[in-house]
Structure 1
Amino acid sequence: MTRFLICFSIIATLYPASLPADGGGIDLSYRMRIVTEADFREHVVDRRAVGRNGDWNLSRSNGRLQGIYGGRQFKGMWRWSNVNWCRKGTLGGAMVDDCWRLEIDGGKLRVAPAKGGNTYTYRLN
């Protein structure tokens, strides 16, 4: 997968007009798509991800997850599945198990639902 991303990035740089308008599902403005648990642990685990509205989450190295979303406390567990970060926990009640694509650029983390939807950007502390 890493070789594909490197080749794709080189092609995108040399031939930008040949790419789909959406970049083929990859945001080329972000430096690195996190596709392995090892990369996730290296770049994100045990760092607080803080959103513009004060929401935050913290994925701990032991698999626990905590945060604040919409002013409500979230507690749960995270796991790695294929190339996605997945979470399951409670936020006022049972929360479904959902998975997210992750991209990182220095101190910023961008997350998007693996099944598609709105993208969110967090600052990593």
Structure 2
Amino acid sequence: MSTGHRGYWLNDPVMHLLPGTRDVELPENLGYVDRRGVKHITPRLTRSDGLTAPAWSWGLIGSPLTPAYRRPAMQHDYHVVTRLIPSALAHQLLRESLEEAREGRLWRLRVAAFDRLVRRFGPRW
């Protein structure tokens, strides 16, 4: 099902913090349907250490554990590690899902700034 204008998350799993680390792990698959109606699945047991958001950028968007950012960060980290889709698409999905995480002009400006940082300094494959 495509909304035509917005992507949407299929679920919001509670992520497990792994003892002795800042890493989190997915207890179940995480599903996102993008604006074009394409489903993207981040599989259960995927681990993330916040690669998507280096600590210096947390003031802009938030840490990978911030509720509005948790799912986009996990999805993007999965793509960075697996490289199953092109980096440009992974970064596009990150921006799209962040834009939809909250409403408001300030949030959109912060997402746009973060997107520029990811595209300029983020990983490419």
Compute the TM-score of the two structures, normalised by the length of structure 2.
Answer: 0.30
Rg larger for:
1
Compute the TM-score of the two structures, normalised by the length of structure 1.
Answer: 0.30
More strand as a share of residues: 1
